[in-house]
Structure 1
Amino acid sequence: MKTLKALVAAGAITASALVAAPAASAATTAELGCPHPRVANRDPGYVTMTGSFNLKAGPYQGSRCATITKVRKGTKLWVHCWVINSYGTPWGYMQIKGTRTWGWMSAANVDYGPGINFAKCPGAEL
Protein backbone atom coordinates (compact mmCIF):
# COMPACT_ATOMS: atom_id res chain seq x y z
CA MET A 1 0.00 0.00 0.00
CA LYS A 2 1.41 3.39 -0.97
CA THR A 3 1.57 6.07 1.66
CA LEU A 4 0.43 9.64 1.15
CA LYS A 5 4.08 10.75 1.27
CA ALA A 6 5.02 8.26 -1.48
CA LEU A 7 2.11 9.40 -3.69
CA VAL A 8 3.14 13.05 -3.34
CA ALA A 9 6.78 12.19 -4.07
CA ALA A 10 5.77 10.23 -7.18
CA GLY A 11 3.68 13.16 -8.42
CA ALA A 12 0.40 11.23 -8.19
CA ILE A 13 -0.90 13.87 -5.80
CA THR A 14 0.25 17.46 -5.84
CA ALA A 15 0.65 19.48 -2.70
CA SER A 16 -2.02 21.89 -3.92
CA ALA A 17 -4.51 19.00 -4.09
CA LEU A 18 -4.09 18.53 -0.36
CA VAL A 19 -5.29 22.07 0.36
CA ALA A 20 -9.05 22.14 0.78
CA ALA A 21 -10.80 24.20 -1.88
CA PRO A 22 -14.16 25.83 -1.26
CA ALA A 23 -17.07 23.62 -2.24
CA ALA A 24 -18.74 24.49 -5.55
CA SER A 25 -22.16 26.02 -5.25
CA ALA A 26 -25.18 24.24 -6.74
CA ALA A 27 -25.42 26.86 -9.51
CA THR A 28 -21.75 26.38 -10.45
CA THR A 29 -22.16 22.61 -10.54
CA ALA A 30 -25.30 22.87 -12.70
CA GLU A 31 -23.57 25.21 -15.16
CA LEU A 32 -20.91 22.60 -15.87
CA GLY A 33 -23.40 20.21 -17.46
CA CYS A 34 -27.03 19.60 -18.07
CA PRO A 35 -29.00 19.89 -14.82
CA HIS A 36 -31.77 17.43 -14.10
CA PRO A 37 -34.19 19.12 -11.68
CA ARG A 38 -36.55 16.97 -9.64
CA VAL A 39 -39.97 16.75 -11.23
CA ALA A 40 -43.52 16.00 -10.12
CA ASN A 41 -46.90 16.09 -11.83
CA ARG A 42 -48.15 19.34 -10.28
CA ASP A 43 -49.73 21.14 -13.25
CA PRO A 44 -52.96 19.75 -14.75
CA GLY A 45 -52.74 21.81 -17.95
CA TYR A 46 -51.40 21.28 -21.42
CA VAL A 47 -49.60 23.30 -24.07
CA THR A 48 -49.57 23.20 -27.87
CA MET A 49 -46.39 23.57 -29.91
CA THR A 50 -46.17 26.82 -31.93
CA GLY A 51 -43.50 25.38 -34.23
CA SER A 52 -41.20 22.36 -34.43
CA PHE A 53 -38.75 22.41 -31.53
CA ASN A 54 -36.51 19.98 -29.64
CA LEU A 55 -37.67 18.32 -26.44
CA LYS A 56 -34.57 18.43 -24.24
CA ALA A 57 -33.07 16.29 -21.46
CA GLY A 58 -32.76 19.41 -19.26
CA PRO A 59 -34.06 22.98 -19.21
CA TYR A 60 -31.48 24.49 -21.59
CA GLN A 61 -31.30 24.97 -25.35
CA GLY A 62 -28.35 24.17 -27.61
CA SER A 63 -25.78 21.50 -26.91
CA ARG A 64 -25.78 21.92 -23.13
CA CYS A 65 -28.60 19.36 -22.79
CA ALA A 66 -29.21 16.43 -25.14
CA THR A 67 -32.17 16.41 -27.50
CA ILE A 68 -34.73 13.68 -26.78
CA THR A 69 -36.83 14.22 -29.91
CA LYS A 70 -38.16 16.94 -32.18
CA VAL A 71 -41.78 17.87 -31.46
CA ARG A 72 -43.85 19.14 -34.38
CA LYS A 73 -46.04 22.22 -34.55
CA GLY A 74 -49.55 21.58 -33.24
CA THR A 75 -48.52 18.70 -30.95
CA LYS A 76 -50.10 18.72 -27.48
CA LEU A 77 -47.88 18.21 -24.43
CA TRP A 78 -49.11 17.55 -20.90
CA VAL A 79 -47.32 19.79 -18.40
CA HIS A 80 -45.99 18.35 -15.15
CA CYS A 81 -44.15 21.32 -13.58
CA TRP A 82 -42.01 24.39 -14.35
CA VAL A 83 -38.52 25.77 -13.57
CA ILE A 84 -36.69 28.98 -14.38
CA ASN A 85 -33.19 28.21 -15.67
CA SER A 86 -30.09 30.26 -14.81
CA TYR A 87 -30.77 32.55 -17.80
CA GLY A 88 -34.22 33.44 -16.42
CA THR A 89 -36.07 31.37 -19.05
CA PRO A 90 -39.09 29.30 -17.98
CA TRP A 91 -39.07 25.64 -19.04
CA GLY A 92 -41.71 23.00 -18.44
CA TYR A 93 -41.24 19.32 -17.83
CA MET A 94 -43.75 17.79 -20.24
CA GLN A 95 -45.04 14.57 -21.75
CA ILE A 96 -45.94 14.31 -25.42
CA LYS A 97 -49.64 13.41 -25.54
CA GLY A 98 -50.25 9.76 -26.36
CA THR A 99 -46.66 8.69 -25.69
CA ARG A 100 -44.33 7.73 -22.87
CA THR A 101 -41.90 10.49 -23.90
CA TRP A 102 -41.04 13.17 -21.34
CA GLY A 103 -38.61 16.04 -21.45
CA TRP A 104 -38.12 19.79 -21.13
CA MET A 105 -39.61 22.43 -23.44
CA SER A 106 -39.08 26.19 -23.33
CA ALA A 107 -42.19 28.24 -22.56
CA ALA A 108 -41.25 30.39 -25.60
CA ASN A 109 -42.13 27.47 -27.91
CA VAL A 110 -45.72 26.83 -26.81
CA ASP A 111 -49.23 28.24 -26.56
CA TYR A 112 -50.89 27.65 -23.20
CA GLY A 113 -54.03 25.56 -22.98
CA PRO A 114 -56.62 25.53 -20.19
CA GLY A 115 -55.58 24.48 -16.71
CA ILE A 116 -52.01 25.81 -16.80
CA ASN A 117 -51.05 27.04 -13.33
CA PHE A 118 -47.23 27.25 -13.69
CA ALA A 119 -46.66 25.04 -10.65
CA LYS A 120 -42.98 24.87 -9.75
CA CYS A 121 -41.06 21.60 -9.84
CA PRO A 122 -39.81 20.46 -6.42
CA GLY A 123 -36.53 22.25 -5.73
CA ALA A 124 -37.07 24.39 -8.85
CA GLU A 125 -34.08 26.67 -8.26
CA LEU A 126 -31.28 25.93 -10.71
Structure 2
Amino acid sequence: MRFAAKAVGMLVTTGAIMTAALVNASAASAVPPPCAGYATSNLDGGYGVMKGSYNLKKGPYAGHCANVARLGSGRVMYFHCWVKNRHGHLWVFGRVKGTRTYGWMSIDNFRTIRHTNYETCRANADRDHL
Protein backbone atom coordinates (compact mmCIF):
# COMPACT_ATOMS: atom_id res chain seq x y z
CA MET A 1 0.00 0.00 0.00
CA ARG A 2 2.81 2.40 0.88
CA PHE A 3 4.44 1.69 -2.49
CA ALA A 4 1.21 2.55 -4.33
CA ALA A 5 0.85 5.82 -2.42
CA LYS A 6 4.45 6.80 -3.21
CA ALA A 7 3.99 5.89 -6.87
CA VAL A 8 0.85 8.04 -7.14
CA GLY A 9 2.64 10.89 -5.39
CA MET A 10 5.54 10.69 -7.85
CA LEU A 11 3.15 10.67 -10.81
CA VAL A 12 1.34 13.76 -9.51
CA THR A 13 4.65 15.57 -8.93
CA THR A 14 5.95 14.61 -12.38
CA GLY A 15 2.70 15.79 -13.98
CA ALA A 16 2.91 19.13 -12.18
CA ILE A 17 6.51 19.64 -13.32
CA MET A 18 5.65 18.79 -16.92
CA THR A 19 2.67 21.15 -16.89
CA ALA A 20 4.82 23.98 -15.54
CA ALA A 21 7.43 23.32 -18.23
CA LEU A 22 4.78 23.45 -20.98
CA VAL A 23 3.35 26.71 -19.64
CA ASN A 24 6.83 28.27 -19.54
CA ALA A 25 7.63 27.06 -23.06
CA SER A 26 4.36 28.52 -24.37
CA ALA A 27 5.06 31.84 -22.67
CA ALA A 28 8.55 31.97 -24.15
CA SER A 29 7.28 31.31 -27.67
CA ALA A 30 4.61 33.99 -27.23
CA VAL A 31 7.27 36.68 -26.73
CA PRO A 32 7.36 38.68 -29.95
CA PRO A 33 10.64 38.97 -31.84
CA PRO A 34 12.49 42.27 -31.58
CA CYS A 35 11.69 45.00 -34.10
CA ALA A 36 14.46 47.22 -32.76
CA GLY A 37 17.75 46.75 -30.99
CA TYR A 38 20.03 46.21 -33.97
CA ALA A 39 23.23 48.11 -34.60
CA THR A 40 22.81 48.93 -38.28
CA SER A 41 26.09 50.47 -39.39
CA ASN A 42 26.71 50.73 -43.10
CA LEU A 43 28.76 47.56 -43.54
CA ASP A 44 27.63 46.60 -47.05
CA GLY A 45 28.13 48.43 -50.35
CA GLY A 46 25.43 46.59 -52.26
CA TYR A 47 21.98 47.52 -53.49
CA GLY A 48 18.81 45.88 -54.67
CA VAL A 49 15.94 46.63 -57.04
CA MET A 50 12.40 45.84 -55.88
CA LYS A 51 10.50 43.22 -57.92
CA GLY A 52 7.09 44.44 -56.77
CA SER A 53 5.40 46.69 -54.23
CA TYR A 54 6.37 45.76 -50.64
CA ASN A 55 6.43 47.32 -47.19
CA LEU A 56 9.70 48.53 -45.72
CA LYS A 57 9.58 47.39 -42.07
CA LYS A 58 10.85 48.63 -38.67
CA GLY A 59 12.40 45.21 -38.03
CA PRO A 60 13.19 41.95 -39.84
CA TYR A 61 9.76 40.35 -39.39
CA ALA A 62 6.92 40.75 -41.89
CA GLY A 63 3.96 39.98 -39.65
CA HIS A 64 5.17 41.51 -36.42
CA CYS A 65 7.06 44.75 -37.15
CA ALA A 66 5.37 47.99 -38.19
CA ASN A 67 5.65 49.46 -41.67
CA VAL A 68 7.96 52.38 -42.45
CA ALA A 69 6.97 52.98 -46.08
CA ARG A 70 5.64 51.19 -49.16
CA LEU A 71 8.25 50.71 -51.90
CA GLY A 72 7.07 50.19 -55.43
CA SER A 73 8.46 47.99 -58.17
CA GLY A 74 11.79 49.25 -59.50
CA ARG A 75 12.73 51.24 -56.38
CA VAL A 76 16.36 50.91 -55.34
CA MET A 77 17.45 50.20 -51.78
CA TYR A 78 21.07 50.64 -50.64
CA PHE A 79 22.14 47.86 -48.28
CA HIS A 80 23.77 48.44 -44.90
CA CYS A 81 23.74 44.99 -43.26
CA TRP A 82 21.89 41.67 -43.10
CA VAL A 83 20.28 39.35 -40.52
CA LYS A 84 18.64 35.96 -40.59
CA ASN A 85 15.58 36.24 -38.35
CA ARG A 86 14.27 33.59 -35.94
CA HIS A 87 12.26 32.04 -38.77
CA GLY A 88 15.36 31.58 -40.93
CA HIS A 89 14.49 34.35 -43.42
CA LEU A 90 17.21 36.71 -44.68
CA TRP A 91 16.49 40.45 -44.26
CA VAL A 92 18.51 43.54 -45.14
CA PHE A 93 18.61 46.91 -43.42
CA GLY A 94 19.18 49.86 -45.68
CA ARG A 95 18.17 53.20 -47.16
CA VAL A 96 15.81 53.92 -50.02
CA LYS A 97 17.70 55.65 -52.85
CA GLY A 98 17.05 59.39 -53.06
CA THR A 99 15.53 59.56 -49.56
CA ARG A 100 16.43 59.52 -45.88
CA THR A 101 14.09 56.57 -45.35
CA TYR A 102 15.65 53.55 -43.62
CA GLY A 103 14.18 50.16 -42.81
CA TRP A 104 14.18 46.39 -43.27
CA MET A 105 13.29 44.41 -46.39
CA SER A 106 13.13 40.67 -47.02
CA ILE A 107 15.57 39.34 -49.61
CA ASP A 108 12.57 37.68 -51.29
CA ASN A 109 11.28 41.10 -52.43
CA PHE A 110 14.21 41.99 -54.72
CA ARG A 111 14.42 41.14 -58.40
CA THR A 112 18.07 42.23 -58.57
CA ILE A 113 20.80 42.23 -55.94
CA ARG A 114 24.22 43.69 -56.79
CA HIS A 115 27.62 44.12 -55.12
CA THR A 116 26.56 42.87 -51.69
CA ASN A 117 28.84 41.09 -49.26
CA TYR A 118 25.93 40.06 -46.98
CA GLU A 119 27.67 41.59 -43.95
CA THR A 120 25.85 40.68 -40.74
CA CYS A 121 24.27 43.41 -38.59
CA ARG A 122 25.57 43.49 -35.05
CA ALA A 123 23.29 43.16 -32.05
CA ASN A 124 23.28 46.12 -29.69
CA ALA A 125 25.03 45.62 -26.37
CA ASP A 126 21.71 45.14 -24.54
CA ARG A 127 20.66 42.26 -26.82
CA ASP A 128 22.36 38.89 -26.88
CA HIS A 129 20.62 37.60 -30.03
CA LEU A 130 18.98 38.80 -33.20
TM-score norm. by structure 1 comes to 0.71
Mapped partners of 2:33, 2:114: distance in 1:
34
Structure with more helix by fraction: 2
Match of 2:54 in 1: 53
Q: Which residue of 2 aligns with 1:116?
A: 116
Aligned to 1:79: 79
Give percent identity, aligned residues only: 38
- Which residue of structure 2 lines up, in the alignment, with residue 44 of structure 1? 45
Following superposition, the deviation at residue 115 of structure 1 comes to 1.2
- Contact kept in structure 1, 2:90 and 2:106, CA below 8 Å: yes
1:98 aligns with 2:101: no
Gaps of 5+ in 1: 1-27
Q: Check conservation: 2:50, 2:112, Cα contact below 8 A.
A: no
Q: How many residues align?
A: 99
Q: CA deviation at 1:70?
A: 0.4
Q: Does 1:107 align with 2:107?
A: yes
Residue 33 of structure 1: how far off its partner (Å):
4.9
Unaligned runs of 5+ residues in structure 2 are 1-27
Which residue does 2:68 correspond to in 1? 68
Cα distance in 1 for partners of 2:93, 2:114 equals 17
Q: How many angstroms apart in 2 are the aligned matches of 1:34 and 1:65?
A: 8
Over aligned residues, Cα RMSD in angstroms?
2.3
Structure 2: distance between partners of 1:80 and 1:119: 8
TM-score normalised per structure 2: 0.69
Change (3 A) 1:107 1:113: closer
